[in-house]
Amino acid sequence: MSVHKTLVVPGLFPALPDSAVPAVPALEKAWSQGDREVFERPLTLAQWPPNQETTWESARRAQAAGIFHAAPHWLCADPVHLHVEGDGLILLDDYTFELSAEESRGLREDLNAHFAMDDLYFHEVTPTRWLLGLPSLPEIETTPPRQRVGRNIDGHLPRGPQRGLWQARFNEIQMVLHDHPHNQARQAQGRRVISGVWLWDEACTQSAQEVVETLRAPSDYGDAEGWMAALEEFLETHWQYWQDQLRQGTLETLTLVALEGRFSGQVVLRHSQRWRFWRKVLPLMGMPGVRPLRES
C-alpha cells in the first residue's frame, strides 16, 4: 500500500527581505531537487486546497465551538490592539499580546451589555478568537486581519452598503473597551490594551491535510527572529521526521505546500527518486516563482 503525506505551511517563504532569510539546506535541497510546481496565482490558507467547496470562516468556528445554531448569522470578531501612529491606527493581533480567559470574559460581558438592544452577542471560541452572533446577514465586505497586521487599517474597515452602521459599531466597541477595568490593569502592567475588535469573515475550504501555522504570523509581521525560531521548530518536529519516513520507504511521496508570504507552490518528493543530485541547489528565496517583497 502506497502512503502519501502532505504538509501545508503558510509563511514558509516569508514576507522578509532576501537578506533576512539565511541558508536552509534541508529545504533548499528539497525545493531544488524535487518535483516543483508554482501555482498560477498566490493562494492563502483559506483558499487551500483550490477548487473545493467553501464555507465561511465564521461558520466553521461556530460549528467547531458547538454554537452554530445559537445565532442566525455570524461574523468573526477578534480582540485586537490598535496602535496609534501619527494620524492612523496600526492593527496588532494576538501574535503581539496575551489575553486570559478571565479578561476575555470580562470584556465580552461589557460589550454584550452595550449591544444587547441590537441583538448582537459576542461569543468566545478561544480567549483571542471570538464570534459575533447577528440577527441578520450584514451587507458589508471585510478584510481578514492577517492581511493588515502590522499596517495601517485605513481603507480596511467594513465596506459596502452598511459600512456606515458597521464603522460606527467599530467605534462604539473602542469606546466600551477604553476604560474597562481589565484594560486599566493591563495598561498599569505595561501590557497592550485590547482597544478594539476586528470584524471580518472570509470563504475558506476544508482540508484534511496537516497544516503547520507557526510560521504564518511571523511572516505576516515581517518578524525575522520569530520566523527563524518557528522554522527551526518546524524542521525539528515535522520536516526531519517525515524526511526520515521517506528515506526509509515508509512513505512513497512527501508533498510540501507553501502558501502566503512570497511564494505559493508545492514540491513533491518521491522515495523512488531519491535525491536528484545533478540538480543545482538554489537558495530558498531564489526559487523560481518567489514574488518581490510587498510594499505597503
Instruction: Say what the pLDDT of residue 1 is.
Output: 35
Instruction: Say what the pLDDT of residue 293 is.
Output: 87
- pTM for the complete prediction? 0.82
Are 196 and 177 a contacting pair, CB within 8 Å?
Answer: yes
Instruction: Say what the pLDDT of residue 51 is.
Output: 75
Q: Which three cell numbers stand for residue 74?
A: 455570524
φ, ψ of residue 26 in degrees (nearest 5): -60, -40
User: Mean pLDDT, consecutive 10-residue segments, the chain of 296 residues?
Assistant: 82 96 93 91 89 86 92 98 95 97 98 98 97 97 95 96 98 97 98 98 82 96 97 95 89 92 94 66 93 71
DSSP 8-state secondary structure symbol assigned to residue 141: B
Q: How many CA atoms lie within 13 A of 32 on its CB side?
A: 18
Distance CA 88, CA 291 (A): 28
Distance CA 100, CA 233 (A): 25
Beta strands in the chain (DSSP E): 4-10, 35-38, 54-56, 73-85, 88-92, 121-126, 129-134, 196-200, 203-205, 210-211, 253-259, 265-270
Instruction: Say what the pLDDT of residue 295 is.
Output: 46
Instruction: Say what the pLDDT of residue 161 is.
Output: 97
Q: What are the C-alpha distances in Å from 101 to residues 96, 113, 198, 226, 285?
A: 17, 18, 18, 25, 40
Question: Residue 281, exposed/middle/buried by CB under 10 A (0-12, 13-18, 19+)?
Answer: middle
Instruction: Say what the pLDDT of residue 122 is.
Output: 98
Q: Report the relative pairing of strands 253-259 and 4-10 from DSSP bridges.
A: parallel
Instruction: Say what the pLDDT of residue 207 is.
Output: 66
DSSP 8-state secondary structure symbol assigned to residue 154: T
For the chain, domain boundaries: 4-52+207-286, 54-204
Question: Residue 12, exposed/middle/buried by CB under 10 A (0-12, 13-18, 19+)?
Answer: buried
Q: How many helices (H) and strands (E) does the chain have?
A: 8, 12
